[in-house]
Structure 1
C-alpha cells in the first residue's frame, strides 16, 4: 500500500473497480495481507486531502479491511484501512484512511 489515503484509494481501484463483487474485493484484500470484516448499517471514516482531517460516511453495509505494516521504530507502525460500501453484493464506493499508530 502507499503512504497516503488518496494514493492508496487510486491503487485499490486499479484492482477492485466499482461494481466488483464484495467477495472478490475481500479475496484481493486478504491476499494482500488485510483482515476484512463485513458490517451492517455502520458509519465509517475516510481521510480528507488535508492531513489529520476525516469525513464520516454512513451508515452503510460495508466490507472493512485493516492492515498494519511495521515501520519507523519497533513501537510505531503504519496502518491502512479500506472500506468498501456493499450495495447488492457489489462495491459501490471505496473509502481509505492511512495513519501511524503507536503505544
Structure 2
C-alpha cells in the first residue's frame, strides 16, 4: 500500500477518535473546513499530524487561570493563544474556558485600565477599524467579576490581545 495513502488513513482514524473525545463533531468539522480553506491542507492529499496538532486536536483542553488584574489576564490568554495562532483556534480555546465569543469585522472596542494619572483614575484606549473576536464571561452570583477580551487578527492569525475586567452587582 502506498505510504501516503496509509498515512492518510491513519490520520483520518486518529482524527475521528480524537474529535469525538475532545470536540463536538459540528465544531470540529467547521474548524477543519476553515483550516483546510486557509492552509490548502489537501494539496498533497495528506493530513499531517503537525497541522492537526496546530488545531489542538491532540492536546487536552487548555485550562485558563483567571486573574483580576487585566495585564495578568492578557498574559494568561497569550500563554494559551500565542501571537500568530489561527483565530478559529483562539475562539475555540476561549469558548472551552467559558467565554461567549463572536466575530467582529472592521469594529471598535475600548481597552480600560486603572491609571493614577488619568482623569477619574481610568485610562481608556479606543481601537477602531479592526477585525477581532469579542469574548465575554461573568463569574460570581451577587457580585460577579466580568472579563472582556478582544483578540485582534489579520489574515486569520492572532495579532493582539486586550483584556478589561471589573466587578458588577445585581
Q: TM-score, normalised by structure 2?
A: 0.56
Q: Whose relative contact order is higher, 1 or 2, with alpha carbons under 8 Å and at least 6 apart?
A: 1
Q: String of CA shifts for 1:14-66, please: whole Å, max 9, x gaps.
A: 01010001111001100000000001111111123526322111221111100
Structure having the higher Rg: 2
Cα pair 1:41 1:58 within 8 Å, conserved: yes
Root-mean-square deviation over aligned CA pairs = 1.3
2: distance between equivalents of 1:12 and 1:81?
A: 12
- Corresponding pairs, count: 100
Hey, which of these two has a bigger chunk of helix by percent?
2
SS of the residue 2:142 aligns to = coil
4+ runs of 1 displaced by more than 3 Å? none
Among 69, 72, 84, the alignment partner of 1:7 is: 72
2: distance between equivalents of 1:54 and 1:17?
A: 24
Among 88, 92, 102, the alignment partner of 2:159 is: 92
Among 61, 76, 89, the alignment partner of 2:131 is: 61
- Unaligned runs of at least 5 residues, structure 1: none
Task: Report the counterpart of residue 25 of structure 1 in structure 2.
Answer: 90
Among 125, 130, 142, the alignment partner of 1:75 is: 142
